[in-house]
A and B are shown apart, each in its own frame.
Chain A
């Protein structure tokens, strides 16, 4: 009996032992598997944890930094994320940096003090994870950062004189105002001098001629001729010329003003916010369509609402008093009352999408060089004659537009000229007036 029991217990013990061994080995296997999967991401943990200093690694780091990190980090200034100078000394360890770059949220979740402090300091903005970077690549980036740190923030210092030089060059081209005045004054002085000299010459000549005795009477009369103002003024030719001039000028003024009635060309009202198209559309080349969202979709090109301004001005020039007006408008839920510049009379219909999307006409064709306007003015006449003139001259943009295929065919059967807007009813009254 005792033998049976002992056999049983030995068997049980064997089973237990084997199962224990098996589970242990599988755990070990899992562990090695985990290690195997994590190892490549760590980039070979046996790589040295020192910041490289050789040129090749630094230039590799620079290109990596420029294409991946520059979005949110600079070396010497705080952007979205912290300034990275000295980060290799500041952070707990090089390995900590590597882990943070691979997956910052994991480091933060692990309760790491330094990571959590950073996370709070930067308004809980999480750094994008870069799991594909090897440790060597991250070290190269650190190498670049170290090089830049040692160099110091001379980039900004170098940029400032350059900007100053630019200003000087600009003012150099704009200076002639004072210069022009000097030239004008000089010219006037010269002219006055010439006048004085001429007067002197005539008096000298007259004196000389009067001294001579061999002059006959006609010549003497000519030399001592008296200029009589009243007789000149009363002479018929003079009265005729004056009357003619007066009538002509008056006529011209009246006609000009009559033709200007109802035309707002040159109208450039002050806007509630000093928005400059020159900066936005010119300097930064932001497409017109970005803000004027309706231009290809509807009759009106649309005035952007403040949320579109905020796409950039959430971060750009936030201190400017003009930009503060946008913030105030959003805060008070009050529309910005822009002054409409192009006021087409209600009696005529105009559609932006028809001209811009279908016709493929540039904004500048009607609105002028808008990308150079600090303050927008009405460039075009916007009269009926102006519209009609363009409809007569402009070819229809038929390319790639099936709608026009039959029209082009019919037109080509009758005429050799290209299909103009007037050929498809661009001059019909009801096209615009209904």
Chain B
């Protein structure tokens, strides 16, 4: 019976070793090597360690006396301990092209469509950029040719057919305003697209409507 006992021992050890394995999978993040080089000390966007005891072991050697474990990485001064903050009120984001934030409110659609002019030149490059952006941000609802036949439009009611009679003669300013604020059931896309990108899309949509 010795042979069975030996086999059992071998398999037992192998099983125990694989159970206690260091590899990740499912909920298990796996064993970290040198974790104090893994976790950021300064606040990082999109990552936050809320456990105050994270990394207490690392403090045995080098106490920083902040009352938290070394890897605790949340800003207690922000709501929900978030590491990112909402920009202060009345501050303005600027870029190299001098685009300032769009200031017309949502209900000024007619004013926007009458007064706004596309600051971008009418070049192929701009239209091609607009096409690329359209495919990323608009196509899944409005469809490749603007005919409201995108895959999402099966589930989402009220997708506008951009080539339809009601939209054929809208101005680029109108398109810009609607992308920024949304209209009807369409949501506001101002947070996803910069003003420049919105103008590019507006240029491209006009080519769809020709």
Contact A265 B24 (CB under 8 A): yes
Asked if A428 CB lies within 8 Å of chain B CBs, one says no
**Chain B: which residue is nearest A269 at the CB level?**
B27
Contact B157 A302 (CB under 8 A): no
Contact B166 A129 (CB under 8 A): yes
A276 to B62, CA, bound (A): 43
- Residues facing A in B54-92 (CB within 8 A) are 79-80, 82
Interface residues on B, range: 35 or more
Contact B165 A133 (CB under 8 A): yes
A78 to B156, CA, bound (A): 13
Contact A283 B151 (CB under 8 A): yes
Contact A257 B21 (CB under 8 A): yes
Asked if A209 CB lies within 8 Å of chain B CBs, one says no
Contact B46 A340 (CB under 8 A): yes
Contact flags (1/0) for A391-407 with B, using CB distance below 8 Å? 00000000000000000
Asked if A91 CB lies within 8 Å of chain B CBs, one says no
Contact B156 A67 (CB under 8 A): no
| Most chain A CB atoms below 10 A, which of B14, B147, B192 | B192
Contact flags (1/0) for B119-163 with A, using CB distance below 8 Å? 000000000000000011101100000011001100111111101
- Which A residues lie within 8 Å of B2 (CB)? 229-230, 233
The answer, among B25, B27, B34, B161, for a CB contact under 8 Å with A68, is B161
The answer, among B27, B30, B156, for a CB contact under 8 Å with A312, is B156
A132 to B168, CA, bound (A): 11
**Chain B: which residue is nearest A297 at the CB level?**
B194
Contact A80 B158 (CB under 8 A): yes
Given contacts A233-B2, A264-B24, contact A286 B152 (CB under 8 A): yes
**Chain B: which residue is nearest A267 at the CB level?**
B24
Asked if A289 CB lies within 8 Å of chain B CBs, one says yes
A44-52, A108-116, A247-255: which lies at the interface: A247-255
Can you name 23 A-B pairs with beta carbons within 8 Å?
A67-B161, A71-B158, A72-B157, A233-B3, A246-B6, A249-B10, A253-B18, A257-B22, A258-B22, A261-B31, A264-B29, A266-B25, A286-B140, A287-B140, A310-B187, A314-B185, A315-B157, A315-B158, A315-B185, A316-B152, A340-B46, A345-B37, A346-B39
Q: Which residues of B contact A (CB under 8 A)?
A: 1-3, 6, 9-10, 13-14, 17-18, 21-34, 37-41, 44-47, 79-80, 82, 135-137, 139-140, 147-148, 151-152, 155-161, 163-166, 182, 184-189, 191-192
Q: Which residues of A contact B (CB under 8 A)?
A: 67-68, 70-72, 79-80, 125, 128-130, 132-133, 229-230, 232-233, 238, 242, 245-246, 249-250, 253-254, 256-258, 260-270, 283-287, 289-290, 293, 300, 302-303, 305, 307-308, 310-312, 314-317, 333-335, 340, 343, 345-347, 378
Q: Which 4 A-B pairs have the closest CB atoms?
A: A311-B187, A260-B23, A262-B33, A80-B158
